[in-house]
Amino acid sequence: MTDTPTDHPVIVWFRRDLRLSDNPALSEAVKTGKPVIAVYVMETDVARELGGASKWWLHHSLTKLSHALDAIGSKLILRRGKAGEILDDIINQSAADMVMWNRRYAGDARERDAAIKSTLKDRDLTVKSYRANLLSEPWSVETKSGGYYKVFTPYWRAAKDFIDVSDPIPAPTSVNHYGGGIKTDTLDDWTLLPTKPDWGEKLAPHWSIGPEGAHKALESFLDGPVENYADDRNRPDYEDGTSRLSPHLANGEISPREIWHACKDNEYTSRKFLTEIGWREFSYVLLFHHPDLASANYKDDFDKFPWESNQDALKAWQHGKTGYPFVDAGMRQLWQTGWQHNRVRMVTASFLIKHLLIDWREGEKWFHDTLVDADPASNAASWQWVAGSGADASPYFRIFNPFTQGEKFDPNGDYVRKYVPEIAKLPKKYIHRPWEAPQNVLDYAGVKLGKTYPKPIVEHKPARERALAAYKESRS
């Protein structure tokens, strides 16, 4: 008796697409009628490991994906190692003749995928890849001269002719599961959760991980907050001023097409919010054309910049002890929740780069390790934007004032009081500038500058002048 085409299983290789809905690789695999082998590989031959916060999120997201697959009659296989070798092992065990995955765009990942695809095709296997986590491919939106856009506004204007806003693909309700015995690891084998210390416990209350949590967050955001998003997105003291969808997008628990589809009934109100989806797309264009975006200046004239090496200042910034309350609140929010408000990200990044003259790459590394929404494109592109070294970047000489930014966007000091409780009793007049408070006010608030709360590690005006002088020097 000879095998029929459907006797050979199809492998679906999950990556940053940890969902069942709007998952083209999974959908197309199910359509074949073949038995499906769903696999996630913790790759060991990567250029850059996931950060600690991302590993914590991944553990819980894979748990949700495993349960979702169980519910439709499938099973998630977990394996650690080199993806090519693991796929080869599963193919040899199962006689699979098809492999499907959704595309990724970081340089080393693209290279691995291309090598694996070539090797499998040489063995007469069918290999198919799909666009799942972007609205358009990074290479599809070209300028009239055939290049790529380096400025966001014209890019987004042109991209709207290329983005895919068709209806999302429904999640499969059942799967023809491959019943053969395929070896699998357990999540506990991978030790993704932090233990010494277990700072994951403090992150957990702030998030509902998985596709269900993603769609609930989107629904909640579109049920009201989106109406005032253009203004409220700048207010870190507003709990619902932003969608907080970024970690769900970064891990592929929801697709940008699902978000766009949910907004289509009120596209005018949602346009500013959807523009932020556009920024994410633009960041992937930059990453595609500059695979070293997280490690090399996009503009190489910044290679001459006279950065300073100051470990004490770097640690003060990382731990929220700079003496500038708005900056410190942001860095503590990051450590306590795995996330930082976007307005505050610009201010904290500017402070590190321009007030402290510390290389933007040090900040990018810290965010990569501590953000639950650490994204290879968005994180690097955003840090380069603030530094002035990136595409369509804010000019270097735009230096955020860390206390006037707080007074403008946290006018009552609620954000600072939440994350910097040691100065919470200061009146709003001084909450962003405690060094200006009279002694009797400090005494009443229980604040001892230099003891219970640090004095500013640098003075704003001299630091600004130093940054401008350094920039001028790098251009001479």
Tokens 């002890």 correspond to what residue? 321
Beta bridge partners of 312: none
Tokens 């999974």 correspond to what residue? 26
Among the options 85, 212, 342, 435, which is catalytic?
342
Measured CA distances, 282 to 152, 324, 385 (Å): 7, 32, 12
Q: What is the pLDDT of residue 2?
A: 37
Q: Tell me the pLDDT tens digit for each residue of 355-407.
A: 999 999 999 999 999 999 999 999 999 999 999 999 988 888 899 999 999 99
Q: What is the pLDDT of residue 52?
A: 95
CA–CA dist 353, 475 (Å, integer): 17
CATH 3.40.50.970 is the classification of domain 134-166+211-289:
no
Q: What is the pLDDT of residue 225?
A: 94
Amino acid at 197: P
Query: How many CB atoms sit inside 10 A of residue 119's CB?
Result: 14
CA–CA dist 114, 326 (Å, integer): 45
CA–CA dist 52, 174 (Å, integer): 34
Among the options 190, 199, 279, 435, which is catalytic?
279
Q: What is the pLDDT of residue 6?
A: 61
CA–CA dist 210, 245 (Å, integer): 11
Among the options 307, 310, 407, 459, which is catalytic?
307
Contact 116, 83 (CB under 8 A): yes
Contact 257, 22 (CB under 8 A): yes
* Residues in CB range of 472: below 8 A, 6 or more apart: none
CATH annotation of 300-475: 1.10.579.10
Domain ranges (residues) in the chain: 5-132, 134-166+211-289, 300-475
Q: What is the pLDDT of residue 196?
A: 79
Q: Is 360 a catalytic residue?
A: yes
Q: Is 156 a catalytic residue?
A: no
CATH 3.30.1300.10 is the classification of domain 5-132:
no
Which portions of the chain are predicted below pLDDT 70? 1-6
Length of the chain as a residue count: 476
Contact 37, 354 (CB under 8 A): no
Q: What is the pLDDT of residue 265?
A: 80
Q: Tell me the pLDDT tens digit for each residue of 419-473.
A: 999 999 999 999 999 999 999 999 999 999 999 999 999 999 999 999 999 999 9
DSSP 101: E
DSSP for 371-422? -TT--TTHHHHHHHHHHT-STTPPPTT----TTHHHHHHSTT-HHHHHH-GG
Tokens 């691995």 correspond to what residue? 112
SS3 254: coil
Amino acid at 476: S
Q: Is 276 a catalytic residue?
A: yes
Q: Tell me the pLDDT tens digit for each residue of 140-165.
A: 999 999 999 999 999 999 999 999 99
Q: Is 199 a catalytic residue?
A: no
Among the options 383, 385, 401, 422, which is catalytic?
383
Inter-helix orientation angle 211-222/256-263, to 10°:
30
DSSP for 271-333? HHHHHHHHHHHHHHHHHHH-TTTTTS-SSGGGGG------HHHHHHHHTT-SS-HHHHHHHHH
Backbone phi and psi for residue 77, each to the nearest 5 degrees, phi listed first: -90, 130
CA-wise closest residue to 138 among 153, 127, 151, 149? 149
Peptide bond into 197 cis (omega under 30): yes
SS3 353: helix
Q: Is 366 a catalytic residue?
A: no
Q: Is 139 a catalytic residue?
A: no
* Residues in CB range of 322: below 8 A, 6 or more apart: 316, 328, 331, 351, 454, 456, 457
CA–CA dist 397, 126 (Å, integer): 53
Report the alpha-carbon angle 358-363-364, nearest 5.
135
Measured CA distances, 304 to 104, 297, 473 (Å): 32, 10, 9
CA-wise closest residue to 155 among 261, 243, 246, 280? 280
Among the options 28, 85, 212, 276, which is catalytic?
276
Backbone phi and psi for residue 254, each to the nearest 5 degrees, phi listed first: -145, 150
Measured CA distances, 216 to 51, 202, 212, 213, 249 (Å): 26, 21, 6, 5, 14
Backbone phi and psi for residue 68, each to the nearest 5 degrees, phi listed first: -65, -40
Torsion angle in degrees (nearest 10) through CA of 328, 333, 336, 340: -130
Q: Quote the distance between the C-alpha of residue 381 and its chain's center.
A: 11
CA–CA dist 39, 190 (Å, integer): 15
SS3 102: strand
* Residues in CB range of 234: below 8 A, 6 or more apart: 241, 343, 409
* Residues in CB range of 58: below 8 A, 6 or more apart: 50, 192, 251
Among the options 317, 360, 366, 385, which is catalytic?
360
Contact 321, 422 (CB under 8 A): no
